[in-house]
A and B are shown apart, each in its own frame.
Chain A
Amino acid sequence: MSGQTAEKLAYMANQIARNLVHDAAPVASVADHIVTFWTPRMIDILVAQGRSGLDPVAADAITQIVAGRIPPSQSRATDPLVHGSDAG
């Protein structure tokens, strides 16, 4: 994973945070926004980054997402979608 994408994702998360700071519960709003629109892989990249480069609201949101998350499938062997659609 190139640093460039991680940097870009951090930029996006910060941008979301800046635009949602006036919400009643900004951290929850940012977390909700990211979970609604980002792929798990994008979130993983950001999680791997840690808090560096993130503004506090975005960083807290990521922490909240991680806390509430069901672990992703470990291998494609346990991924139901691969089996369900591997028709040809």
Chain B
Amino acid sequence: MGYERQADFGTPEVRSDTQVTCFIDGREVTVPAGTTVMRAAALTGGSIPKLCATDNLKQFGSCRLCLVEIDGMRGTPASCTTPVAPGMQVHTQTPKLHKLRKGVMELYISDHPLDCLTCSANNDCELQDQAAAVGLRDVRYGYEGENHLGEMPDISNPYFDFDPSKCIVCSRCVRACDEVQGTLALTIDGRGFDSKVSAGLTSDSFLSSECVSCGACVSACPTATLQEKAVKEIGKPERSVITTCAYCGVGCTFRAEMRGEQVVRMVPWKDGKANRGHSCVKGRFAWGYAQHQERILSPMIRESIDMPWREVSWEEALSHTAREINRIRDTYGRNALGGIVSSRCTNEEGFLVQKLVRAGFGTNNVDTCARVCHSPTGYGLKTTFGTSAGTQDFDSVEDSDVMLVIGANPTDGHPVFASRMKRRLRKGAKLIVIDPRRTDLVRSPHIEADFHLPLRPGTNVAILTAMAHVIVTEGLADEAFIRERCDWDEYQHWAEFVSAERNSPEFLSPVIGVEAEAIRGAARLFATGGNGAIYYGLGVTEHSQGSSTVMAIANLAMVTGNIGRRGVGVNPLRGQNNVQGACDMGSFPHELSGYRHVSDAATRALFEAEWGVPIDPEPGLRIPNMLDAATDGEFKALYIQGEDILQSDPDTKHVMAGLAAMECVIVHDLFLNETANYAHVFLPGSTFLEKNGTFTNAERRIQPVRKVMEPLNGYEDWQVTQELARAVGLDWNYTHPSEIMDEIARLTPTFAGVNYKRLDAEGSLQWPVTDAAPDGSPIMHIDSFVRGKGKFVVTDYVPTDERTGPRFPLLLTTGRILSQYNVGAQTRRTANVVWHEEDLLEIHPTDAENRGLKSGDWVKLASRSGETTLRATVTDRVAPGVVYTTFHHPATQANVVTTDYSDWATNCPEYKVTAVQITPSNGPTEWQEDYDAQATRSRRIAGVTGLQGAMEPAE
């Protein structure tokens, strides 16, 4: 695709059952009632000059450039605020309009620098375009008068500048921040000539303001006032490619706007069905890690982890690795081998990794990092509904009346979807937040949660059961739905259980730490407030009862009849971009693609016929079991694609011991991550900008990832896996990821109708795509559940064995923040660090005072597993007795303190509850220093010639 701006229809699309036909300059057009004249004109291919209107914002009617004449109407109405009427005759280009528009434009231009030729927005400026469109050639008002030309730009944001001298005060940026992002960081200060855009107080800069750097205002600005720094540095893009963000599970699609092989900017794609033209700071701006100097571009090997790395050719790296794999298999048996699929890589790459492990290594020892995040979602939703996935599309939220958000912090973790939630909340939907922390969603501009239930970490099941108690005992259950859609006997068994006095809010309140009346109120609101939708995140899954909580959520949705239509449902907010996809692709040790158990002979036969090898009918090891087996001396080799288990998995010391006990750890990644400190082979990976494939987001939406530049390391990741497979003797000959997708479709019923041709034509598809649902399935379980009848499961509250006591009196819970992503390997290598230089420990003022702590102090955070140090920030966001931190920085190693307790059903680690003590400290612990020294030693790279130790450059 060449570079042209995306079409702008001026005003938003209108939904209506009534159609209206009118005439624009004689051209007949039929549009939904309520559509504006401006949009109708654009739809017929016309173009009415405009400045203050753009189609993702409500019409504003301030610039007066879009005037038209309408037969039978007096004057010259603004086309952006005038709706069409049946038979209306509109004239958009008349001498009178020409004169009026020219006059308006002249006023704008007279207060605007005329340095178009040297302006970075030259040829990409709506003001310039519109001046040309109205035929402005010269300006009668001179520049001698008062103007804004001398004002200083604000360059504080690392990614975009604000140059007020070019501002035409159209307020598109202010409206974008309000309506699209929902942060309300910008205002127009002053009136008339003095009016100007401001980020809060006059002294404020963008960086110090409320701005979250989502870029919505930058996209909305019609001039060079708000513009990406990269456009100034690199120049105007010359082509664009549609691709999908590689950060979170929202799955925003972007136009990668390119100049040669360089990305100039990533602009959110308006036709993207997940993001509808919006973005967050990560996807929009934080892609610079792709060119970061620390990226490793040549393969490296070493005999043992205390030796420096040796750069080798791809051939040598692959043949060495294959020899090691074969040696280990011959010595210890096939079950000493395994692999880890990444939720950051594409579906095709994940599919190949599990295929290599199952067909090449001959074992089912394959797992994915979803183990540590959403494996309970898979288990819980499959058990209750029959499908391991969320039930809705994101658009569904537009019809929700009550949102229940539990264990999720969408404004930080899933920002673009959070903006859509907020938009709906500002229109009056009700909100229940169940979270130990007062997240931003609880109180933000024009939004106030109806209930915030700040429960004690680890009591999710108790609170959900207590809500169910209220719904059942107060007669609020939707019996008609339950009788028709669910197993009635199971329901009765469950209803009897939840109705017991020991499950009442009054009985459980002391355990949960929330007033019984608040729990009752929230339950009543959810049951009676109209369409109820539940959104949840890792605060639900990462507990010893993670799977039970997911099932308790499913129970709550079924008992209130909130399944199977728009506006309702159970919606897991996925952490990483392709968690859903990695799970779908058969990355779990007990399942082949499409969630079919390896013990199922018919499924195995299908794969055996396609792959020509037998498949083990017994489940393989999960990641924690692999590490246990390694310390026991039974597990010896691990191929890890795109994951950093040493930093992201719990109980760091245990992970270290497991990795250290292996004989061949193969890390396939962009950077020498923490896990690579224990690796023997490093295979350089490619970024999402350098490969083709697909990601599947939290709404089961499969979207294309497109290569916009050649991989710096030489190969796309699927090619690296293919070469490794060939080296161990498999005859793989894929020439493009589309062929891998064809294989997936042949082997996986829910993907039967998916192929690249359709994805290219339709932009995205939501699985299942089958004969019964040829266009995909935005909403699931419409007439019946996938498993037949919905299953109510009794979820008894079993407290975690991780308990506070005199030595460890506080509860630590962990989370993430907006500007950083996961272990931070990518975001830490971008300018996003200006927002989060280090992980901080949030502690309540009372707990801080008891320990003589204030914000900024170094503290030691200790648990039964280990200890680390970091700095404290005192805040009442967390309740007394609870402390909170993020895990984005390896220096902190928050997982040194997390324990190896895990979900009973899936072994998903219990990250969200650790008993800890906080004490003042004056710097890093001995362990942190040792770790640092080991990491530095481990990252040495010897000279390319292979003379070990000849050259050991510092990083």
1/0 per position for B436-473, CB-CB distance to A under 8 A?
00000000000000000000000000000000000000
State which of A33, A36, A80, A88 has its C-beta within 8 Å of the C-beta of B326: A88
* A25 in the interface (beta carbon within 8 A): no
User: How far, in angstroms, from A19 to B904 measured CA to CA in the complex?
Assistant: 7
Which among A8, A15, A23 has the greatest number of chain B C-beta atoms within 10 A? A15
Chain B residue contacts of A36, Cβ below 8 A: 590, 597, 599, 619
* B730 in the interface (beta carbon within 8 A): yes
User: How far, in angstroms, from A23 to B547 measured CA to CA in the complex?
Assistant: 15
Which among B544, B619, B900 has the greatest number of chain A C-beta atoms within 10 A? B619
User: How far, in angstroms, from A1 to B360 measured CA to CA in the complex?
Assistant: 27
Distance of B352 from chain A, by nearest CB (Å): 16
In the complex the two chains form, is B798's CB within 8 Å of A19's CB?
yes
In the complex the two chains form, is B362's CB within 8 Å of A82's CB?
yes
* B614 in the interface (beta carbon within 8 A): yes
State which of A18, A40, A85, A88 has its C-beta within 8 Å of the C-beta of B614: A85
User: How far, in angstroms, from A76 to B360 measured CA to CA in the complex?
Assistant: 16
Q: How large is the interface on B (under 10, 10 to 19, 20 to 34, 35 or more residues)?
A: 35 or more
- Chain B residue with Cβ nearest A42: B625
In the complex the two chains form, is B545's CB within 8 Å of A19's CB?
yes
User: How far, in angstroms, from A65 to B900 measured CA to CA in the complex?
Assistant: 26
User: How far, in angstroms, from A5 to B631 measured CA to CA in the complex?
Assistant: 9
Chain A residue contacts of B590, Cβ below 8 A: 36-37
* B279 in the interface (beta carbon within 8 A): no
User: How far, in angstroms, from A8 to B628 measured CA to CA in the complex?
Assistant: 9
User: How far, in angstroms, from A41 to B629 measured CA to CA in the complex?
Assistant: 10
- Chain A residue with Cβ nearest B325: A88
User: How far, in angstroms, from A45 to B548 measured CA to CA in the complex?
Assistant: 27
Contact A80 B614, CB 8 Å, known A39-B619, A88-B326, A88-B728: yes
In the complex the two chains form, is A84's CB within 8 Å of B326's CB?
no
User: How far, in angstroms, from A85 to B589 measured CA to CA in the complex?
Assistant: 18
Chain B residue contacts of A76, Cβ below 8 A: 333
In the complex the two chains form, is B905's CB within 8 Å of A33's CB?
yes
Chain A residue contacts of B271, Cβ below 8 A: none
State which of A15, A23, A86 has its C-beta within 8 Å of the C-beta of B362: A86
State which of B334, B622, B628 has its C-beta within 8 Å of the C-beta of A81: B334
Question: Which B322-376 residues sit within 8 Å CB-CB of chain A?
Answer: 322, 326, 329, 333-335, 359-364
In the complex the two chains form, is B544's CB within 8 Å of A15's CB?
yes
- Chain A residue with Cβ nearest B322: A88
State which of B326, B620, B628, B904 has its C-beta within 8 Å of the C-beta of A15: B904
Question: Which A29-44 residues sit within 8 Å CB-CB of chain B?
Answer: 33, 36-42
Chain B residue contacts of A37, Cβ below 8 A: 590, 619, 622, 905-906
Chain B residue contacts of A38, Cβ below 8 A: 619
* A47 in the interface (beta carbon within 8 A): no
Question: Which B512-555 residues sit within 8 Å CB-CB of chain A?
Answer: 544-545, 547-548
Distance of B546 from chain A, by nearest CB (Å): 11
- Chain A residue with Cβ nearest B729: A88
* B794 in the interface (beta carbon within 8 A): yes
User: How far, in angstroms, from A84 to B614 measured CA to CA in the complex?
Assistant: 6
Chain A residue contacts of B60, Cβ below 8 A: none
Chain A residue contacts of B359, Cβ below 8 A: 85
State which of A19, A39, A86 has its C-beta within 8 Å of the C-beta of B621: A39
* A48 in the interface (beta carbon within 8 A): no
Which among A4, A24, A36, A85 has the greatest number of chain B C-beta atoms within 10 A? A85
User: How far, in angstroms, from A64 to B619 measured CA to CA in the complex?
Assistant: 18
Chain A residue contacts of B619, Cβ below 8 A: 36-39
Q: Interface size (A, Cβ < 8 Å)?
A: 31
* A66 in the interface (beta carbon within 8 A): no
In the complex the two chains form, is A87's CB within 8 Å of B728's CB?
yes
* B194 in the interface (beta carbon within 8 A): no
User: How far, in angstroms, from A21 to B795 measured CA to CA in the complex?
Assistant: 10
In the complex the two chains form, is A19's CB within 8 Å of B905's CB?
yes
Chain B residue contacts of A86, Cβ below 8 A: 329, 362
Contact A5 B362, CB 8 Å, known A16-B904, A82-B334: no
User: How far, in angstroms, from A2 to B634 measured CA to CA in the complex?
Assistant: 11
- Chain A residue with Cβ nearest B728: A88
User: How far, in angstroms, from A82 to B798 measured CA to CA in the complex?
Assistant: 42
1/0 per position for B590-629, CB-CB distance to A under 8 A?
1000000101000000000000011010111110010011
Contact A85 B360, CB 8 Å, known A16-B905, A19-B796: yes
Chain B residue contacts of A18, Cβ below 8 A: 798, 904
Chain A residue contacts of B632, Cβ below 8 A: 1-2, 5
User: How far, in angstroms, from A80 to B544 measured CA to CA in the complex?
Assistant: 37
Question: Which A64-78 residues sit within 8 Å CB-CB of chain B?
Answer: 76
* B497 in the interface (beta carbon within 8 A): yes
Distance of A68 from chain B, by nearest CB (Å): 13
Distance of A4 from chain B, by nearest CB (Å): 8
Chain B residue contacts of A5, Cβ below 8 A: 628-629, 631-632
Contact A84 B362, CB 8 Å, known A21-B796, A22-B794, A41-B634: yes
* B504 in the interface (beta carbon within 8 A): no
Chain A residue contacts of B377, Cβ below 8 A: none
Which among A8, A21, A41 has the greatest number of chain B C-beta atoms within 10 A? A41
User: How far, in angstroms, from A74 to B177 measured CA to CA in the complex?
Assistant: 67
Contact A85 B904, CB 8 Å, known A19-B798, A37-B619, A80-B614: no
User: How far, in angstroms, from A88 to B335 measured CA to CA in the complex?
Assistant: 16
* B907 in the interface (beta carbon within 8 A): yes
In the complex the two chains form, is B904's CB within 8 Å of A39's CB?
no
User: How far, in angstroms, from A38 to B905 measured CA to CA in the complex?
Assistant: 11
Distance of A15 from chain B, by nearest CB (Å): 4
User: How far, in angstroms, from A42 to B625 measured CA to CA in the complex?
Assistant: 9
Question: Which B711-741 residues sit within 8 Å CB-CB of chain A?
Answer: 728-730
Given contacts A23-B794, A81-B334, A85-B359, 17 further A-B contacts (CB under 8 A): A1-B632, A2-B631, A5-B632, A8-B628, A8-B900, A15-B544, A19-B548, A19-B796, A36-B590, A37-B619, A37-B906, A39-B620, A40-B618, A41-B629, A80-B614, A84-B362, A87-B730
What are 17 A-B pairs with beta-carbon distances under 8 A?
A: A2-B632, A5-B632, A12-B907, A15-B904, A16-B904, A19-B548, A22-B794, A37-B619, A38-B619, A39-B364, A39-B589, A42-B625, A81-B334, A82-B333, A85-B334, A86-B329, A88-B728
Q: Please report B residues at the A interface, Cβ cutoff 8 Å.
A: 322, 326, 329, 333-335, 359-364, 493, 497, 544-545, 547-548, 589-590, 597, 599, 613-614, 616, 618-622, 625, 628-629, 631-632, 634, 728-730, 794, 796, 798, 900, 904-907
Q: Which 6 A-B pairs have the closest CB atoms?
A: A88-B729, A85-B362, A87-B729, A22-B794, A84-B614, A15-B904
